[in-house]
């Protein structure tokens, strides 16, 4: 079976974003965006908005054991595939998600988010267009059922099906796929890793990720500034708070695509510079008898700042986390 390799589709908007060595330049996010926002749409804003240069995380930010690892490949149950198929799939997703689905051609992928009416993220995921009327989303297992249920509520008379694709498995790797690979789709990340979508029948020989392997993958995501909304952080952040508008590659928010749930709040934060909180990578030693901070909780850093934990792992008695400060 030939591999279908997914490349980045142009999102129509790129922005600068810092690495862990320059977190002060990350987009700052507004602390309280829960107030209802009623804003008249103004298409001229898109024309006059500044267009900064693209940002990519430094390879030096990635741990050596991941950069130089050989044949790191494992299947995971931490992600599942949510499939959208039907003649109205494109139009439906374009009206619901944060990024420009219409910019996707067959064989491409992009980061996506789904927000509440107040602009708070309920899910983040990668979306690949596998056929003219079929899209596969790689969604964290903790949010996939709630996401499928909520999107189904708004399907109404649209001609599409929304279903968890039980015939697909998600495989995580840093191995370059070949044409002989049984992968049906490959979503490449900037740091050399990849997410493979494979038939369940083809993954029996691939080991299931143990705790160490999953920790390595999470650590690589944190070092690459790739946040992830899970059930524990549902509705905690607007996209800019976790840098979702500038995530590499290509960003996960389009500011020119038109309406979607929460679009007014997200656009207001962007165009009015109302973002006061931002994503930051932190690392600190875990003191003896100190508990590992849970995702979604508020912690106090050594400098006295109170931050909310988006994602975290424990590595060599040190906590490495993405926090919103």
Query: Each residue of 217-235: pLDDT tens digit?
Result: 999 999 999 999 999 999 9
* 244, 275 contact by CB (below 8 A): no
In this structure, which topology does domain 5-324 adopt according to CATH?
A: Gyrase A; domain 2 (3.30.1360)
Note the helical H segments in 122-281. Answer: 141-153, 211-223, 263-271
Contact (CB, 8 A) for 82 and 149: no
Residue 177 scores a pLDDT above 60: no
3-state SS, residue 37: coil
Percent of the chain with pLDDT over 90: 68
pLDDT of residue 180: 52
Q: In this prediction, what percent of the chain has a pLDDT beyond 70?
A: 76
User: How confident is the prediction for the chain on average, in pLDDT?
Assistant: 82
Residue 25's pLDDT band, with cuts at 50, 70 and 90, is: very low
Identify whether the C-beta of residue 278 lies closer than 8 Å to the C-beta of residue 324.
Answer: yes
Mean pLDDT in residue range 116-139:
97
Left if phi > 0, otherwise alpha if psi is -120 to 50, otherwise beta: which for 64? alpha
Select the more confidently predicted residue: 155 or 68.
155
Residue from 250, 74, 247 nearest 174 by CA:
74
Which of helix, strand or coil describes residue 295? coil
Does 149 score more than 60 pLDDT? yes
257-288 residue pLDDT tens: 989 999 999 999 999 887 899 999 999 998 87
d(CA 188, CA 196): 9
The answer to whether residue 21 scores a pLDDT higher than 60 is: no
pLDDT at 273: 82
The pLDDT of residue 38 is 35
Distances (CA, A) of 179 to 57, 74, 184, 201, 209: 29, 19, 10, 18, 24
Q: How far is 101 from 21, CA to CA, in rounded Å?
A: 32
* CB of 278 closer than 8 Å to CB of 27: yes
- Please report, in angstroms and rounded to a whole number, the separation of the first and last CA atoms in the chain: 46
Task: Give the chain's length.
Answer: 325
Question: How high is the pLDDT of residue 181?
Answer: 64
Predicted local confidence at residue 225, as pLDDT: 97
What is the mean pLDDT of the segment spanning 293-299? 95
pLDDT for the residue 53:
38
Residue 30: the pLDDT is 39
What are the two backbone dihedrals, phi and then psi, of residue 103, each rounded to the nearest 5 degrees?
-80, -10
φ and ψ at residue 170, rounded to 5 degrees: -105, 125
Angle, CA 137 vertex, CA 135 and CA 140 arms, to 5°: 170
DSSP 8-class letter at 27 = P
Structural domain spans, the chain: 5-324
How much is the pTM?
A: 0.78
At 71 the pLDDT is 66
Q: What is the mean pLDDT of residues 131-148?
A: 97
- Burial-class residue 5 by CB neighbours within 10 Å (0-12, 13-18, 19+): middle
Please give the pLDDT value at position 291.
Answer: 86
Mean pLDDT is lowest, of 123-137, 173-187, 243-257, 263-277, for 173-187
d(CA 320, CA 325) in angstroms, rounded, equals 15
Q: Give CA torsion, residues 262, 265, 269, 274, to 10 deg.
A: -140
Three-class SS state of 164: strand
Q: What is the pLDDT of residues 36-75, one digit of tens each?
A: 443 333 333 333 444 443 333 333 333 333 334 456 899 9
pLDDT at residue 23 tops 60: no
């Amino acid at each position: 079976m030939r591999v279908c390799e997914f490349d980045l589709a142009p999102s129509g908007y790129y922005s600068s974003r810092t690495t862990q060595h320059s977190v002060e330049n990350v987009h700052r996010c507004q602390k309280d965006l829960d107030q209802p926002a009623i804003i008249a749409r103004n298409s001229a804003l898109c024309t006059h908005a500044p267009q900064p240069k693209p940002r990519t995380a430094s390879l030096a930010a990635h741990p050596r054991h991941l950069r130089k690892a050989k044949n790191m490949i494992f299947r995971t149950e931490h992600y599942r595939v949510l499939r959208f198929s039907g003649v109205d799939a494109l139009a439906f997703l374009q009206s619901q998600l944060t990024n420009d689905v219409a910019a996707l051609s067959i064989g491409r992928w992009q980061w996506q988010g789904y927000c509440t009416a107040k602009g708070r993220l309920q899910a983040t995921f990668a979306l690949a267009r596998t056929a003219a009327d079929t899209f596969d989303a790689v969604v964290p297992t903790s949010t996939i059922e709630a996401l499928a249920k909520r999107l189904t509520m708004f399907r109404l008379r649209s001609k599409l099906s929304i279903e968890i694709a039980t015939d697909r498995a998600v495989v995580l790797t840093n191995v370059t796929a070949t044409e002989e690979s049984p992968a049906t789709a490959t979503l490449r990340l900037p740091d050399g890793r990849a997410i493979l979508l494979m038939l369940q029948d083809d993954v029996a020989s691939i080991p299931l990720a143990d705790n160490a392997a999953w920790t390595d993958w999470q650590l690589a995501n944190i070092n690459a500034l790739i946040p992830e909304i899970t059930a524990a952080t549902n509705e905690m952040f607007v996209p800019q708070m976790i840098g979702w508008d500038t995530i590499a590659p290509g960003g996960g928010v389009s500011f020119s695509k038109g309406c979607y749930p929460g679009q007014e709040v997200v656009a207001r934060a962007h165009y009015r510079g109302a973002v006061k909180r931002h994503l930051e990578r932190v690392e600190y030693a875990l003191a003896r008898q100190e508990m590992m901070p849970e995702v979604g909780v508020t912690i106090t850093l050594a400098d006295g700042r109170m931050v909310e934990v988006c994602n975290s792992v424990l590595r060599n008695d040190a906590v490495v986390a993405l926090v919103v400060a």
